Amino acid sequence: MLSSMAAILAKFLSAAVGLMTVPITLKYLGPERYGLWMTISSIVAMLGFADLGMGNGLLNAVAKAHGEGDTKAIKRSFASAGIFLSCIACAILAVFGLIYPAAPWADWLNVRTPLAVSESGQAVGAFVICFAFNIPANLVQRLQLGLQMGFVANLWQIVGSIFAFIAVLVAVHYEAGLQWLVFALSGAPVLAALLNGVIFFLVVRPDLIPKFSDASWDDAARVGKTGVLFVFLQLIAAAAFASDNFIIGRILGMGAVSQYAVVAKMFSVIPLILSTLLTPLWPAYGEALARNDIDWAVRVLKRSLKMALLGTLALSSLLVLFGNEIIEAWVGKTIAPTMAILCSFAIWRILEAVGSTFAVFLNGANIIRTQLILGFVTACSAITLKIFFAKEVGFVGVVLGTSISYVLFSIVPYCFLFWRFIRVGKMRF
pLDDT at 414 over 80: yes
Q: Would you call 405 exposed, middle or buried from its count of C-beta atoms within 10 A (0-12, 13-18, 19+)?
A: buried
pLDDT score recorded for residue 224: 62
Q: How far apart are CA 356 and CA 378, in angstroms?
A: 14
Q: Specify which of 104-108, 242-246, 363-367, 387-391 reaches the highest per-range mean pLDDT.
A: 387-391
3-state secondary structure of 293: coil
Nearest to 337 by CA among 402, 272, 396: 396
- List the end-to-end C-alpha distance of the chain, in Å, as a whole number: 38
Q: How far apart are CA 273 and CA 271, in angstroms?
A: 5
Q: What percent of the chain stands above pLDDT 90?
A: 20
Contact 110, 145 (CB under 8 A): no
Tens-place pLDDT, residues 336-348:
888 999 999 999 9
Q: How far apart are CA 349 and CA 399, in angstroms?
A: 10
pLDDT score recorded for residue 219: 67
Q: How far apart are CA 364 and CA 345, in angstroms?
A: 28
Query: What does DSSP assign to residue 100?
Result: T
pLDDT score recorded for residue 377: 93
Contact 250, 110 (CB under 8 A): yes
Supply the DSSP string of 309-347, one letter for each residue: HHHHHHHHHHHHHHHHHHHHHHH-TT----HHHHHHHHH
One-letter amino acid for residue 250 of the chain: R
Contact 397, 386 (CB under 8 A): yes
Average pLDDT of the segment spanning 63-72: 74
Average pLDDT of the segment spanning 196-219: 80
pLDDT at 11 over 80: no
Contact 200, 144 (CB under 8 A): yes
Predicted confidence band of residue 250 (pLDDT cuts 50, 70, 90)? confident
Supply the DSSP string of 46-59, one letter for each residue: TTGGGGTTHHHHHH
Nearest to 244 by CA among 31, 350, 395: 395
One-letter amino acid for residue 153 of the chain: A
Contacts of 149 (CB under 8 A, 6+ apart): none
Tens-place pLDDT, residues 142-181:
888 777 777 787 788 888 888 888 888 898 888 888 889 8
Average pLDDT of the segment spanning 223-235: 68
pLDDT score recorded for residue 315: 94
Mean pLDDT value across the chain: 82
pLDDT at 312 over 80: yes
Predicted confidence band of residue 3 (pLDDT cuts 50, 70, 90)? low
Contact 309, 230 (CB under 8 A): no
Q: Would you call 97 exposed, middle or buried from its count of C-beta atoms within 10 A (0-12, 13-18, 19+)?
A: exposed
201 compared with 215, residue with greater pLDDT: 201
Please report, for the chain, how many H helices and E strands are present, in that order.
Answer: 20, 0
Q: Specify which of 26-30, 241-245, 335-339 reaches the highest per-range mean pLDDT.
A: 335-339
pLDDT score recorded for residue 45: 58
pLDDT score recorded for residue 342: 94
pLDDT score recorded for residue 321: 94
Q: What percent of the chain stands above pLDDT 70?
A: 85
Average pLDDT of the segment spanning 305-323: 94
Q: How far apart are CA 56 and CA 138, in angstroms?
A: 11
Q: Which residues of 103-122 are buried (b: 16+ CB within 10 A; e: fewer)?
A: eebbebbbbeeeebbebbbb
The full length of the chain comes to 429
Tens-place pLDDT, residues 69-79:
777 888 888 88
pLDDT at 21 over 90: no
On the CB side of 153, how many CA atoms lie within 13 Å of its CA?
Answer: 20
H-type alpha helices, 68-187: 71-99, 105-109, 114-137, 139-146, 150-173, 178-182
Contact 258, 96 (CB under 8 A): no
Q: How far apart are CA 189 and CA 137, in angstroms?
A: 10
pLDDT at 428 over 60: no
Q: How far apart are CA 111 and CA 394, in angstroms?
A: 18
pLDDT at 113 over 60: yes
Q: How far apart are CA 76 and CA 237, in angstroms?
A: 31
pLDDT score recorded for residue 303: 92
Q: How far apart are CA 49 and CA 233, in angstroms?
A: 9
Q: Specify which of 70-74, 79-83, 118-122, 402-406 reaches the highest per-range mean pLDDT.
A: 402-406
Average pLDDT of the segment spanning 77-101: 87
Predicted confidence band of residue 261 (pLDDT cuts 50, 70, 90)? confident
Q: Which residues of 176-194 are buried (b: 16+ CB within 10 A; e: fewer)?
A: bbbbbbbbbbbbbbbbbbb
Contact 56, 241 (CB under 8 A): no
pLDDT at 394 over 70: yes
pLDDT score recorded for residue 429: 45
Q: How far apart are CA 42 and CA 105, in angstroms?
A: 15
Average pLDDT of the segment spanning 367-371: 82
pLDDT at 268 over 90: no
Q: How far apart are CA 260 and CA 280, in angstroms?
A: 31
